[in-house]
Structure 1
Amino acid sequence: MEKYRSRDTLFIGLTLFALFFGAGNLIFPPFLGIMAGENFWPAIIGFVVTGVGLPLITVVAIASVKDGVQEMSKRVHPVFAVVFTVAVYLSLGPFFGIPRGANVAYEMSLKPFLGNSAGPIFLLAFTAVFFALVYWVCLNPSKLVDRVGTVLTPIMLIAIALLVIVSLFKLDGGTGAVADKFSKSPFTAGFLEGYLTMDTIAALAFGIIVITSIKQKQVTDRKQVVRLTLKAGLIAGAGLAMVYVSLGLLGTKMAGAGNYENGGQLLTEAAKTVFGYPGMLLLGVIVTLACFTTCVGLVAATGQYFTKLLPKVSYKQFATIITIISFLIANMGLNQIISVSVPVLVTLYPITIVLVVLSLLHPFFGGARAVYVGSILAALLVSISDGLKAMGVRLPELESLLGNLPLYAEGLGWLVPAIVGAAAGLIADRFILSKLERRQPATDN
Structure 2
Amino acid sequence: MKELSKKNTFFVGLLLFSMFFGAGNLIFPPFLGQLSGKYVWIAFSGFIITAVGLPILAVIIVSKSKGLFNLAAHVNPTFALIFTALIYLSIGPFLGIPRTGSLAFTMGVSPFLPKSLASSPIPLLIYTLIYFSIAFWLSLTPSKLVNRLGKVLTPILLVLIFIVFIKSLITPIGAFGTPKGDYSSFPFFKGFSDGYLTMDVIAALNFGIVISSTLKSMGVKSEKSIISYSIKAGLIVGAMLIIIYAMLSYVGASSRTISLNAQNGGEILTSAASHLFGHYGIIILGVIFSLACLNTATGLITSCSEYFTTLTKNKLSYKTWVFIFAFLSMLFANIGLTKILSISVPVLNAIYPMAIILMIMFLLSNLFKGSKYVYILGMSFTGIFSILDSLNQTLIKSSTINSTFNLLPLYTKGLGWIVPALIGLILGYLIHIFKKSHTA
TM-score (norm 2): 0.90
Aligned partners of 1:174 and 1:253 also within 8 Å: yes
8 Å contact from structure 2 (residues 142, 302) kept in 1: no
CA distance in 1, matches of 2:13, 2:148: 17
Amino acid at match of 1:154: P
Give the match for residue 443 of structure 1.
Answer: none
Task: State the match for 2:92 in structure 1.
Answer: 93
Q: In the alignment, which residue of structure 2 is the partner of 1:200?
A: 201
**Residue 273 of structure 1, aligned match among 260, 271, 275:** 275
- For residues 396 and 86 of structure 2, the distance between their equivalents in structure 1, rounded to whole angstroms, comes to 21
Q: Secondary structure at the match of 1:94?
A: coil
The alpha-carbon deviation at position 146 of structure 1 amounts to 4.4
In structure 2, give the amino acid aligned to 1:309.
L
Other-structure match for 1:106: 105
Aligned to 2:400: 397
Determine if the alignment matches structure 1 residue 49 to structure 2 residue 52. Answer: no
Q: Which amino acid in 1 is paired with 2:204? A: A
Q: Match for 2:98: what amino acid?
A: P
For residue 350 of structure 1, what is the aligned residue in structure 2? 353
Residue 189 of structure 2 is matched in structure 1 by 188
Moved more, 346-355 or 381-390: 381-390
Alignment of 1:33-432 (within 5 A): 33-65=33-65, 67-114=66-113, 116-117=115-116, 118-121=118-121, 122-135=123-136, 138=139, 143=144, 146-148=147-149, 150-211=151-212, 220=222, 222=224, 229-258=230-259, 259-311=261-313, 312-432=315-435
Please state whether the residue corresponding to 2:258 is helix, strand or coil.
coil
Give secondary structure in 1 for the equivalent of 2:174.
coil
Q: Given the superposition, is the C-alpha separation of residues 385 and 184 from structure 1 closer, same or farther in structure 2, using an over 3 Å criterion? A: farther
Alpha-carbon distance in structure 2 between the residues aligned to 1:10 and 1:128: 33
Bigger mean CA deviation after superposition, 12-21 or 359-368: 12-21
Q: CA deviation at 1:178?
A: 2.9
Q: How many Å separate the matches in 2 of 1:192 and 1:353?
A: 12
Take 1:141 and 1:305, find their aligned partners in 2: how far apart are those partners? 13
Partner of 2:2: 2
Q: Which moved more, 1:74-83 or 1:151-160?
A: 151-160
SS of the residue corresponding to residue 256 of structure 1 reads helix
SS in 2 for 1:363: coil
- What is the alpha-carbon distance in structure 1 between the residues aligned to residue 364 and residue 137 of structure 2? 44
Q: Measure how far apart 1:140 and its partner are.
A: 7.4
Q: Distance in 2 between matches of 1:137 and 1:230?
A: 25
> Secondary structure in 1 aligned to 2:365?
helix
Change beyond 3 A, Cα 1:433–1:78? farther
**Matched-pair contact (CA < 8 Å) for 1:37–1:252:** yes
Aligned-residue offset at 1:193: 0.9
Are 2:157 and 2:291, in contact at CA under 8 Å, matched by a contact in 1? no
> Is residue 23–residue 99 contact of structure 2 (8 Å, CA) maintained in 1?
no
TM-fit CA distance, 1:285 = 2.7
Residue 113 of structure 2 aligns to a residue whose secondary structure is helix
CA RMSD of aligned residues (A): 2.7
Separation of aligned partners in 2, 1:141 and 1:234 = 22
TM-score by length of 1: 0.89
Q: Deviations over 1:55-92 (max 9, x none)?
A: 11112212322x31111100100111011111111122
Cross-structure match for 2:19:
19
Q: Deviations over 1:379-437 (max 9, x none)?
A: 112211221133243122233222222111111111122122112111111213663x6
Please state whether the residue corresponding to 1:362 is helix, strand or coil: coil
Residues 14 and 154 in structure 2, CA contact (< 8 A), matched pair in contact too: no
| CA 1:337–1:396: 2 relative to 1, 3 Å | same
Q: Do the aligned partners of 1:262 and 1:335 also contact (CA within 8 Å) in 2?
A: no
Gaps of 5+ in 1: 439-445
Relative distance call for 1:144 and 1:80 in structure 2 (3 A) is closer
* Counterpart amino acid of residue 357 in structure 1: I
Deviations 1:206-254 (A, max 9, x none): 23444566676668474x7656544443222111001001100100121
- SS of residue in 2 equivalent to 1:419: helix
Q: Which 10-residue stretch deviates more, 137-146 or 176-185?
A: 137-146
* Unaligned runs of at least 5 residues, structure 2: none
Opposite residue 244 of structure 1, the aligned amino acid is Y
Q: Structure 2 vs 1, CA of residues 8 and 378 (structure 1 numbering), >3 Å: closer, same or farther?
A: same
Aligned CA distance change for structure 1 residues 302 and 357 (closer, same or farther; 3 Å)? same
Amino acid at match of 2:377: G
Comparing 283-292 with 346-355, greater Cα deviation is found at 283-292
Q: Structure 1 residues 179 and 329 mapped into 2: Cα distance closer, same or farther (>3 Å)?
A: farther
State the alpha-carbon separation in 2 of the partners of residues 397 and 279 from structure 1.
50
Contact 1:106 1:123 survives alignment (8 Å):
yes
Q: 1:433 to 1:344 in 2, by over 3 A?
A: farther
Residues 305, 226 of structure 1: CA spacing in aligned structure 2 closer, same or farther, 3 A cutoff? closer
| Deviation for aligned residue 1:272 | 2.0
The whole-number CA distance in structure 1 between the counterparts of 2:232 and 2:320 is 39
Give the fraction of aligned pairs with identical amino acids, expressed as a percent: 42
